[in-house]
Structure 1
Amino acid sequence: MKRSKSIDLLLSLIILAAVMLVARNIDNRPSLEEKSSKKAPLLFQITWPAYSGRGEAIQRIVNLYNAENSDAFEITLVDGDEDRNAIEKRLTEPEAATIHVLPYRFVKYFAAKGYLEDLADYFTEEEGWFYPELWRLGQVNGRMYGIPWLGHSIGLIYNKELLAKAAVDVAAIRDLPSLVKALEAVEAKNGVRGIGLVGANHNDVSWMVNQFVYGYGGRLVEQSGMRVAVNTPETKAALHFYRDVLGPHAQPSWIDDSGLEVMEHFRKKKIAFEFQGVWGITDIEKNGHPFDVGIIRLEDIGLYSEVGPMMLSIPGSMSREKKKSALAFIKFMISKEAQLKIMEGEYSPEHDAYYPFRIPVRQDLADSVMTVKYPQYLPFLSAFKRPSIDVPTPKWQIIKDEYYAPGLHQVMTGEVSIEDFLKRIESKGNEILRQP
């Protein structure tokens, strides 16, 4: 049976189209040169979701590095959190190849286990860029396993409006007794409570109270880190001041409040002062800027500031080639250029504005651009030279979670005396510190 001419024409067109499609695909294939020039990923795991305001802020800094460097590896940002077990699993993978952002307490923990690369020989001149106390937080036995990158510190934030109504001169607040006088004046003139405190069985009660412990001359552990050092007259005096002197000036619910509730009380003008980090400033800005705020450095009133530096670390099993690229990236992240990018902050679609969520940690920035562009945040930066260390040794995290924070809450409620609390921490704490 003969085919019609129209069918033959249709088949010819189909064959021609197929040939053209194959030819196009061949032309569009990458050449061997293009294949070899494509960068391989080198993962950078942060402690926040990659697709969050903070993740996107960090991604902008990573993009800057990738654009400026012709390295064989492309730094690729990936999700993370502070799940210790998940981080440990990744660090112990054969030839682990991830640059990690780690809280300082995790640096000590994982370095003690032998999971992290010793960075001491790669970062020598950089030590002078940072406050000595901050730099030492990345060390174990004199070797360097975490390089400070960004962090937070705590300041005493105040409502300028409430202080002005009470005729309180901020410059006159130079120690704890003068702070108490200021609280009394604010309460008398405004009908609000003077200061926000934390008393709940929560992570916040630990770092909040420890600022006073260090301020009174106390310590959590001995210099060696092998014995608990809280059972002293200095710590007893600090707890007494916090509970019995400041407590009556705090919000009525302070015994059951965390830092989150304190921020809410401050925002609603129910208290005049609060202990907060940079987020205490941005919280007011994000909520309509109902009043102007100021910051008092804790060192100016005799206290030590809680600090939370995040460190950059790499696994000890990372290949030589990737290690070279990882070190170059870390050096960029602590450069002045990258450090100042931190202050650009995270984007808030709701307010169409950017807000800092952490601060850079280089001490030399205070004398340069920070002074000009971000002077309101300088008190937070200078706090790194006099830090309150909430977890001075890796095992203190266990003591804190199981005994210290719950016990502090009981002290604030009056269920346990200060003396019995300190004895219990000394006993239970030393048991934990002696464990292998």
Structure 2
Amino acid sequence: MRSNTKIALILMTVFVSLELLFRREGVATVLRDYGIGWSVILLSFMYFILGYVIAMLYNAPSLLFRKRYRRKVEKKAMLAKQTRVTKRTEHYIELVQPKFRALAWNHDYAIHSLAAGPSVEWTNEEAAATLTNLSPRLTTLRQDYLNEDHVRQQKEVFDRYGRLLDSGMIDVERLNAFLGQSELPKHVRQALIHPFPLVDTLEAMKARSYEINGRHLALSAGIEGEQIVMQELEKYADSYTTLYGNRIAYDAHHTVESDALVFSEQGIFTIEVKNIKAKGDQFIKISKDGVWYARRGLSEDWQVDEQSSKIFDQMNRQVYGSQKFISDQTGERLTVHPVVVIANANAKIENETDWVVIRPNQLYTVISRGKDQLSQETCESLRDLFKAHNLGQKAFKHLDYTKEYDQILQNTLFIHHVTTSLLILLSTYNEMEK
């Protein structure tokens, strides 16, 4: 329409000018009857309509064949671009090929799913010992390959490679065909063709390494707390006798285990050790209804600590199971007193219950103030009875951390190899651009 209007205006101007210049009889009559102004308007309108019709006839073939012509032009341009991209890719592959041949990898690593192995039956001490041996290697791995800067740099390489593939300047199918037939290790070739899922694997490994480290810290803290309590109890070994990690069955289906079981003339005490909130500025509050709360710093609000809130239920089972065991074995009804020990001086404790929640250095005071009256012979016989029926520490299902470390290590090395290959692809492309 714009083209038709432009042509019509040009023709109108030409025709009106010629009519006014030569002043034919009809035009002269119009000028005489209507005057110069209206005459020009009438002539302009008439010749504009005529010019527009002529313009439509002139542009009709172009309008009819424009789409076909445009498709033809676009197809020609696309073929030309594909030819350029193909030649560019072939040249690119020629530059990359000798660099790939120069790479010498002795291992064909592959991605392993984390924690794929079966769980093992370990006591907490055995699991902690395994992680203690593993911890230095895991720390080194995190520092060398899974630290924030290294992970960020690897993700940037994957992102840059993705932008290269999306740029349209490389024939992706031809490049992938070359990668699939290259002399790189099999799994590296496959990963280079589909590299982007490795970003999620990298993040998962990083998170998992920190989870394993957190598990190690938790187990180690618990064992460290038990050792602190043991050292405190051993200071007064002449006043009472103690069994550590004693587990007995009080019926056909249930067992109870005490971190420490103290037999004194002032009473029998089952001691549960919790080395919680050991780092930072920590506060613990136990409400009257037995719910445990925690917060970090005075400015934060109290939050319910679901895990710690189960401690009293655990202690009730220990008391019931120990008392039932004594009654079934001796016929005597004796009281077993529960004591919860927070085995660090860091956490500030606010206890609103009647339960005994103390520090390790308060143990002797609590035991010595017991109101029961037991003979030394009774204490010794009960100790021997529990000791004779000791089932040993309970084993729990743990992941094989050593195997998982090996999997993380192999995955890390594999992603490192893939990243090295991607860097070669990117640097070669940049050199070709220059």
Q: TM-score when scaled to structure 2?
A: 0.18
Name the structure with the higher helix share: 2
Structure with max Cα Rg: 2
Q: TM-score when scaled to structure 1?
A: 0.18
